[in-house]
Amino acid sequence: MDARVIAVGAGKGGVGKSTVALNLARALRTQGAVGVLDLDFYGPNIPSMVGIEHEKWTTNWTLAGPSMRRFKPVLREDLAIVSTGFVLGEDQPFGVDSMTAGLIAKQFIHGVAWPDLQYLVVDLPPGTSTVQQILVRELKCAGALVVVTPELVAHLDARKAVQMFRSLKIRVIGAIENMSAGNCPHCGQAISIFPSAPHDRSIWSMGVQKLAEIPLQIAGPSSKPTVGGLDPSLALLYQQLADRVVADLTT
């Protein structure tokens, strides 16, 4: 596969990493064929975001050998998608050791019959443990993005993610500050959702470029985190993010 691989990581869960990864992939469709590889074993949310349900638990996982038939991605929204959530049940915990997780990850990376892609966006598990490091080594990434929210604890954990990528010689393209603010549903004024981390303890003090500030969307129960959704300003932000990433990877 000749696609440029873009890893999307985070130091901790709950910062909207999967939403950013999927919406980035959607925006990248203007540049050609795009795939999404959801390797977040512990919370594979991409399937539900594209309307795919998988309730059945997997009790036997057979690791494919080189002679076994590779499995095909699911096509949704002009995206080729592969997710651990296609195998695990929606409420099934992923309880294996890091070595087994690494072997399963290699199957998802190398055992897929991907179409010709220009870009492959990879949703990594949050954190910096052995599993994440195995994944990053296997992926041969063109670059990595880090997702963070404004508060101190998110930045402290995101700093570890930045250090992990750098120690593995993966270039950090930049970071996305998610849930940076929100618009009051009554007056429309922008309000801060979280207190901002002090600059000297933030990832910005490490020389990481801020690529985008994504506001918190206050929406109804039927809303979906889509680029083509109800808020054109959000779609524009993700398109601008995609353009910046492409420009970085092609220079």
Where do the structural domains in the chain lie, given as residue ranges?
A: 4-16+18-249
Name the pairing type of β-strands 4-9 and 143-148.
Answer: parallel
Backbone φ and ψ of 209, nearest 5°: -80, 135
Residue 157 has pLDDT above 80, yes or no: yes
Domain 4-16+18-249 adopts which CATH fold? Answer: Rossmann fold (3.40.50)
Q: What letter does residue 45 receive in the DSSP assignment? A: -
Q: What percent of the chain has pLDDT over 70?
A: 90
- Contact yes or no for 122/39 (Cβ under 8 A): yes
**pLDDT at residue 104, rounded to an integer:** 78
Q: Determine which helix (DSSP H) or strand (DSSP E) holds 176, and give its type and residue range.
A: strand 172-183
**pLDDT at residue 228, rounded to an integer:** 47
Q: In the structure, what pLDDT confidence band is assigned to residue 24 with cuts at 50, 70 and 90?
A: very high
Mean pLDDT, residues 188-212 taken together = 88
- Contact yes or no for 164/136 (Cβ under 8 A): yes
Using alpha carbons, list the distances in angstroms from residue 167 to 137, 186, 193: 11, 46, 32
Q: Determine which helix (DSSP H) or strand (DSSP E) holds 145, and give its type and residue range.
A: strand 143-148
Q: Give the C-alpha separation, 36 to 14, whole Å.
A: 20
> pLDDT digit string (tens) for 141-152?
999 999 999 999
**pLDDT at residue 234, rounded to an integer:** 87
pTM above 0.85, yes or no: yes
Six-digit token string for 45: 């949310």
Name the pairing type of β-strands 172-183 and 190-191.
Answer: antiparallel
**pLDDT at residue 129, rounded to an integer:** 82
Beta bridge partners of 94: none
Q: Give the C-alpha separation, 245 to 211, whole Å.
A: 8
Q: Give the C-alpha separation, 210 to 213, whole Å.
A: 8
